Structure 1
Amino acid sequence: MGGELFPDRLAKRLGALSIVSRSGRLGHHKGTHRSRKTGSSLDFSDFREYHPGDDLRHIDWNVYARTDKPFIKQFLDEQEMRIHVLLDSTKSMGVDGKWDYARQLAIALGHIALKSGDTVSFSTWSDEQDYFYRRKGSMHRASLTKFVTSIDSPGSTDNFTDRALRHIPKAVTVLFIITDGLEETAKWEHFFRRLPGICGDIRILTIHSQPEEAPTYEGDVRLIDSESGAGVEVTMTRRAVQDYLATKVTHEAQLTALAGKFGIHLVRAEVADGVMETMTKKIRHAGWLR
């Protein structure tokens, strides 16, 4: 990709979007999201009877005058969310524009969360090192962009599902996983079984490129596995392409079904759509943003 990975014009187009959480797990610090608890925001929630030890300043004296009983005003508690973005860095993510697109999605999600006053963390890895970022507050949007942009190519030769769990921090409200989902379904099932114990609101963005959707190879070609480096000689006939597409559709259907089985939400994201189309339409339509 030429030029800046996530220019200001993209950041501005995110507008007033915010992340919607279905999880009851929130952080301990003040933020902009209403929790199920009551607290000290300015938004009224309900009344309850006064009990010895309650703060007298919260008694509603107008209600007391009408009922001759003291009632306490309760207010909605506003707390931060803890948003984590986990990026698949296996080498298959480095073809057909998937890596740039995936990093753009990670930055966009991080910008939205930081702007809402949430704590944002991001992780991925290569064979040589681990990458981890954590900040809170809109003033850190530029540093998040710089951090993610600096990881210029995917460099992991391990299976994503084998290493992913150790890169997810504790007490996450919403977990976003960005991956092309190409590993065998048995590995995904093993990974999915353990995720609900880590986070109650898990969302997966599966990345797809046009060459994967509609291969244009013809004749005798040598295909190289982007992760293992192994090659195979193939004659690309119409039947071979049809068999490949059928296998791909079956794999994606199995992955979607597995995610649903474990209460994990999945959205299909296509490089050709671009990051803003994906964020403002697909992801918003899925109810992940508002």
Structure 2
Amino acid sequence: MINPTFLEEVDRFDASLEQEATGIQRGEQESPDVGEGLTFSDYRRYSPGDDTRLIDWRLYGRTGEYYIKQFEEERSLTVHVLVDASASMDYGDPDIDTHKFEFGAKLGLGYAYLTAEAHDDFKFSIFKDRPERLDAGTSTRGEVLGLIDRVNETTPRGETDFATALESYAGLINSRSLIVIITDCLGDLDSLESGLASIAQNDVILIQLLAPGEVDPNPAGDTIFEGVESDVSQRTYFGGRLLEQYRNRVDAFINDVEARTQRLRITHAFVPTDQDFFDAFAATWIG
């Protein structure tokens, strides 16, 4: 189960996020006629570094508080978070933060939380063979807390179809977007590459998660391996040369995923789920 207290760690990223967000806003509003030709959207509290020309002084006179006028351009960035909820993500020990789905969902929720703090929009979905949106469309801190409950009610199951899921999601993107995909990438890598190609015209980061037991398994001797997304099982003697071959194949698998993302000019980040959450988020956060 995901405890909302992890957001206290995410809060440590506020300063860098605000610097980035206000820098974008200042860049978009170089004109002395601030807001001219733009559609008024909403108000938000003034933060140090905001353009003072956007302060609503009439509202200040009534409330004694500084509020900034928001225009549509300020909320033009949408962050799309997609978390793999297939059976292979239901792996690991949640007591030591190695359960893949929960760890990955926390990374995605961290993106949603900081996006809301920056007054941008986020959309949060899980996917297997198709995307399933979990957020209610409000892009607020309260919505993130509600998402934690919905994620906790989710049990990963079924097989992943990267191409079908991502290609169908591509049709839902209609604005400047950052797309964060969180998955173990276990499945058909040609399908993964095809799905990524369908959204590669946007800014995309692929966060690849693997648990310690997948990267460097402990069993030795006579061992039964069971498929996590199929009924296939295999009994073999595991150790020595076979263990070395397994580790080499895992390294080749991670390198293959990275090579495919590089061809598409997509950011790839590999995260082992026994990594400290703050360090993992710091390594993947591109705000």
TM-score (normalizing by structure 2):
0.73
Tell me, yes or no, if the aligned pair for 2:76 and 2:176 is still in contact at 8 Å: no
Superposed CA deviations along residues 4-29 of structure 1, whole A, max 9, x for unmatched, are 265453454444342999xxxxxxxx
How many percent identity over aligned positions? 16
Q: CA deviation at 1:128?
A: 11
Instruction: Give the aligned partner of residue 51 of structure 1.
Output: none
**Pairwise CA RMSD of aligned residues?**
3.1
Alpha-carbon distance in structure 1 between the residues aligned to 2:131 and 2:51: 46
Tell me, yes or no, if the aligned pair for 1:84 and 1:174 is still in contact at 8 Å: yes
Question: Which runs of structure 2 are paired with 1:1-290 in the superposition (5 Å)?
Answer: 1=1, 4=3, 6-7=5-6, 9-18=8-17, 33-34=24-25, 37-38=28-29, 40=34, 43=51, 78-96=74-92, 97-125=99-127, 130-133=132-135, 134-151=137-154, 153-168=155-170, 169-170=172-173, 171-197=175-201, 200-280=202-282, 282-284=283-285, 288-289=286-287
Alpha-carbon distance in structure 1 between the residues aligned to 2:131 and 2:198: 24
Superposed CA deviations along residues 233-272 of structure 1, whole A, max 9, x for unmatched, are 1210211111111111112111101101111001111211
Higher helix residue share: 2
In structure 2, give the amino acid aligned to 1:258.
R
SS at match of 2:126: strand
Q: For structure 2, which runs of at least 5 residues remain unmatched after alignment?
A: 36-49, 53-72, 93-98
TM-score (normalizing by structure 1):
0.73
Q: For structure 1, which runs of at least 5 residues remain unmatched after alignment?
A: 22-29, 45-76
Q: CA deviation at 1:140?
A: 2.9
Q: CA deviation at 1:192?
A: 2.6
Alpha-carbon distance in structure 2 between the residues aligned to 1:252 and 1:126: 20
Higher strand residue share: 1
Q: CA deviation at 1:229?
A: 2.3
Alpha-carbon distance in structure 2 between the residues aligned to 1:155 and 1:131: 16
The change in CA–CA distance for 1:279 and 1:160 in structure 2 (over 3 A counts) is same
Q: CA deviation at 1:139?
A: 4.2
Q: CA deviation at 1:185?
A: 2.5
Alpha-carbon distance in structure 1 between the residues aligned to 2:107 and 2:165: 21
Greater relative contact order (CA < 8 Å, ≥ 6 in sequence): 1
Alpha-carbon distance in structure 1 between the residues aligned to 2:130 and 2:150: 17
In structure 2, give the amino acid aligned to 1:203.
I
